[in-house]
Amino acid sequence: MREIIFNGDKVEIYDFPDEVDVIYPPEPVSTSKPAHEIVKKAIDDAEIKVSKNSKVVIAFDDVSVPLPLPQTDPRRLMVKEVLRKLKGIGKDQVTLVCATGMHRKCSNAELRQMLGEVASAYRVVNHDCRDVVSLGETESGYVVEINRYAAESDVIIYLSVPFLPMNGGWKSIAVGLGSYTCIRQHHLPQVLKKSSYINPHSDMHRIIEEIGRHVAERIPVVHVDAVLNNSFYRGFVSKAWGNVRGNDKLGQKLLMSLSNMMPSHIKSAVRRRYRAGYEVAYVAAGEVDEVHPEVLQRVYEHRGLKVGEKYDALIFGLPNMSPYSVNSELNPILFHTMVRGYLCNMFEKMLRKRAFFVVQNPVYEVFDEKQHPAYREFYYKYISKGKTDFDGLESAERQLVENSKLMNAYGNGLAYHPAHAVIAYYWGALGMERLEKVVVAGSKSPALKPLGFESAKNMDEAIKILKEMGCGKIAYVSIPPVFFTY
């Protein structure tokens, strides 16, 4: 079967052998009602206890979700309806906090895209994981430090767009509004390698829930969660994809690959500006433990795929996209994060005990100087020199955090927190534990060897390597759209 493979910013066609299964994402489910009606009803039905003197924080997910950003952002609708619900509360009593965790700040243009006219009508700030207030420790001894505005408010209203089972719920508070110390506790390799963080009952989420509930015991928290359908494609591309999915229609697939004729910088610009056709499918508002179970169920309905088979090897094409490179480029550390982190966690349920991956991506040794200066420092000072052992990277964290130039880029620019580079590397802990080998097809990048990846000159050679390793059961997983298996 000839299938489309997204290879960085290129769209390629490969004729897979008959013995390779093809796993497609769930079909998008059309929504039955307009988005504004779904949002309005959920917020109308929610109880938000405020008085005329209340200080209110409205926190919201940053641009890392959904991936890619939608043409119509649900946060605009949610914030508009929440503010309508808060009629009588003065503007000076309301602060909107972009819950970035340890991510970079969102630009003014990105804030306007997410919030619309509200971005200029109200006080809007980006969370700074250094500007926090301590709320003590949980019963298990986990440090609880959250955003100063949130800690000093009378109520936190959080607007979330849960894209995967790992999103939303208490994670919004504990991570989105947390300090570096607070976040690091559940993002360590010894926590992440125990079970998939896609699993909402994993060790990571157990710690996160304990921290989140500790916050809610002191400050009322209201969650507004918007689940989107899986309409990644839109316009003529959506129609073309619908025609080629599961069909060997070479003409239609060649049409989708015409973008390869564009120069590299144009393809990069198109990718950065692409907006998905996601639609609001479901919205719930209320206390986290009341609404999150139903929200998770809806995420599974729209983005989850039940697969009974177990495979020796999975094959992927990886676009130059990640939650941590929005409006930027995929660097080698983030390639590791996507492959051993996201892909392994999202599809871990399909893997046999001895598992292999083949991934097609150029893996460019490129770093965005505005967003990823700490990633560059971490890569060239540690990873490229073979310092990849998890146990030895705590010193790297300390040195990056103590680097005043990198910290200034985070505090006053659009850079990720210096330690985020190391934590993004930790994010691949499960893949380091579960995957015996990862073969990167069609790349000669110098980044492959220090990151522990094997190179194959093309997909033919990569599949040959799998067969030589005794892989009998192989599947190609077609992404995008983003989905996961269970």
Q: Are residues 16 and 96 in the same domain?
A: no
- CA distances (Å), origin 453, targets 86, 111, 364, 393: 53, 37, 14, 19
| pLDDT for 470 | 97
**Final residue before a domain boundary, out of 228, 254, 286:** 228
Q: Are residues 338 and 402 in the same domain?
A: yes
Q: Are residues 320 and 441 in the same domain?
A: yes
CA angle 415, 416, 419 (to 5 degrees): 135
Question: For residue 478, what is the enclosing H or E element?
Answer: none
| pLDDT for 341 | 98
Instruction: Determine if residue 470 is left, alpha or beta; phi over 0 gives left, psi from -120 to 50 gives alpha, anything else beta.
Output: left
What is the rounded distance in angstroms from the CA atom of residue 405 to the CA atom of residue 219? 35
What is the rounded distance in angstroms from the CA atom of residue 86 to the CA atom of residue 57? 11
Question: For residue 433, what is the enclosing H or E element?
Answer: helix 429-434
Mean pLDDT per 10-residue section of the chain, whose length is 486 residues: 94 95 94 95 97 98 98 98 96 98 98 98 98 98 98 98 97 98 98 94 97 98 98 80 66 62 92 96 98 98 97 98 98 98 98 97 98 98 95 95 98 98 98 98 98 98 98 97 97
| pLDDT for 245 | 73
205 CB-side CA count, 13 A: 15
194 within domain boundaries: yes
Q: Are residues 12 and 67 in the same domain?
A: no
**What CATH number did the domain enclosing 45 receive?**
3.40.50.11440
Which of 174, 184, 273, 281 shows the shortest CA–CA distance to 226? 281
237 within domain boundaries: no
Name the phi and psi angles at 96, rounded to 5. -100, 125
How many domains are there within the chain?
Answer: 2
| pLDDT for 443 | 98
12 in helix, strand or coil?
strand
Q: Are residues 10 and 124 in the same domain?
A: no
Q: Are residues 22 and 39 in the same domain?
A: no
327 within domain boundaries: yes
297 within domain boundaries: no
User: Could you give the maximum distance between any two Cα atoms of the chain, in Å?
Assistant: 70
| pLDDT for 248 | 65
- CA distances (Å), origin 62, targets 101, 139, 149, 163, 212: 9, 30, 17, 12, 18
Q: Are residues 332 and 400 in the same domain?
A: yes
170 within domain boundaries: yes
What is the rounded distance in angstroms from the CA atom of residue 398 to the CA atom of residue 419? 8
Measured in whole angstroms, how far is the alpha carbon of residue 178 from the centre of its chain?
Answer: 17
Structural tokens at position 400? 């990056």
208 within domain boundaries: yes
pTM of the full structure = 0.96
**Final residue before a domain boundary, out of 179, 209, 228:** 228
Q: Are residues 316 and 211 in the same domain?
A: no
Q: Are residues 7 and 93 in the same domain?
A: no
Q: Are residues 43 and 99 in the same domain?
A: yes
**Final residue before a domain boundary, out of 197, 228, 259:** 228
159 within domain boundaries: yes
246 within domain boundaries: no
Q: Are residues 223 and 357 in the same domain?
A: no
What is the rounded distance in angstroms from the CA atom of residue 170 to the CA atom of residue 469? 42
User: Domain of 120?
Assistant: 35-228
**What CATH number did the domain enclosing 352 receive?**
3.90.226.30
Q: Are residues 360 and 460 in the same domain?
A: yes
